[in-house]
Amino acid sequence: MQRITPHTTLDLFDIAATRRVEEALSATLPSHTLMQRAGLAVARLAMAVAPNARTVWIACGPGNNGGDGFEAAAQLRNRGWAPVVTFCGDEARLPPDARASLQRARDAGVTLAAEAPAAFDLAIDALLGIGAGRPPAGVMADWLQRMHGGRAPVLSVDVPSGLNADSGALAMNLIAAPASGAGAAGRFCLSLLTVKPGLFTAQGRDAAG
């Protein structure tokens, strides 16, 4: 895990290049390895960002980004934390790795909450990743508004949900939060496998933190 500063020099990979990296690594590693590594990294950063958090809310989406969230929940649970996990999707339609991570989370003692917590000390956005084909809507949009409108820090998995990883265009106006909102507490983003150009262009920099 590497912190990016104004003096950091890194290669940028667009969505297509990131997919090629992911495919190459998946071909050489045991099944589910990448998601397990991603979940562990998210859990470690969550504990560093909010070491005294009592309530960690992990909002998981219907794809592999949600699987990373399930894996992070399992890792946190195994370390004595009690994350509140909400899921926006159909379990039967989860990708295989994400379904396996959901089962790992359940085996660790994680249960899916019917509703988002009324209060939380850290929110983890694992709703949409780089493969999202449409902007957040419905309950997913409601959850994002709640995350970014609160006082707690927000940690995005790979990219903030609704952000185009190539262009930095943001599908929802989540960066113009008041001083009392997440902009004051902190926005964090753990970019997985590669660093995407959209995190540094247009609205991406403010959205990612």
Residue among 121, 20, 17, 129 nearest 68 (CA): 129
3-state DSSP assignment of residue 157? strand
Q: Tokens 């998601």 — which residue? A: 35
Supply the mean pLDDT for the chain. Answer: 90
Indicate the domain borders of the chain. 57-208
Reported as a pLDDT band with limits 50, 70 and 90, residue 204 is confident
3-state DSSP assignment of residue 58? strand
Which runs of E-coded beta strand occur in 9-160?
Answer: 56-60, 84-87, 122-126, 154-157
**pTM (two decimals):** 0.91
CATH, range 57-208 = 3.40.50.10260
Task: Say how far residue 95 (Cα) sits from the centre of its chain.
Answer: 16
Give pLDDT, residue 174: 63
